[in-house]
Structure formats: structure tokens, C-alpha cells
Amino acid sequence: MFLKLNGKICVVIGGGNVAYRKVVTLIETGANIKVVSPVFIEPLLHFGKAGKIELRQKKYSVDDLKGAFIVFVAIGSKDIVKKIIEDAHARGALCNVVDD
């Protein structure tokens, strides 16, 4: 499947290596990228400081999905993953869990 993401809000939940790899791919699409996590690896912090992505250093909340076209979940907690999927679908956003 191919999606045109230029200018669309893409939310990545997670701040580790898997999230980083997803962000690298998204940057090339011209998407408006928001990354939500209590902690970030250094490369994500670098992208944030460079203005390439918006970093939200906090735990996930449903408000993080406002306006999202697609949500990428890059965390390990199955309970939180399930909640994010339900929240995304309730708002009409596509959702991809990177390890499924």
C-alpha cells in the first residue's frame, strides 16, 4: 500500500530505535511528524532540535492523536498498544503497530 503523507500529521508513539527508523522514513515523505515518548534516543532529539519533527516528551494521552492521519506505535506495552489502536480508530486515523 502506498500513502501520500506530504503535509499530513503522522504520530509516532515511542522514542527508541524502532521509532527512530520509522521517523527516518517519514521525514522523506514530507509528513508533519509528532513523536510522543517520556524519553528519546539521541538521534530523535537531534531531529527535534533541527526542527524536522515535533517531540512531545511525555506519556501517551489521547490528545496526542488530534488531527492524526496515521499513528505508528513503537512501544512494547501490549495494554497501552491496545488503547492507542482503539483511540486511533475512534478518531478515524490509520494505525500501524510496528512489531505486528
pTM: 0.95
When pLDDT is cut at 50, 70 and 90, the band that residue 100 belongs to is low
CA end-to-end span of the chain: 16
Architecture of domain 9-97: 3-Layer(aba) Sandwich (3.40)
Domain ranges of the chain: 9-97
Q: What is the mean pLDDT of residues 73-81?
A: 92
Give pLDDT tens digits for 46-73.
Answer: 999 999 999 999 999 999 999 999 999 9
Nine-digit cell at 73? 506505535
Do residues 67 and 54 make contact, with C-beta atoms less than 8 angstroms apart?
no
Picking from 65, 58, 57, the residue whose alpha carbon sits closest to that of residue 83 is: 65
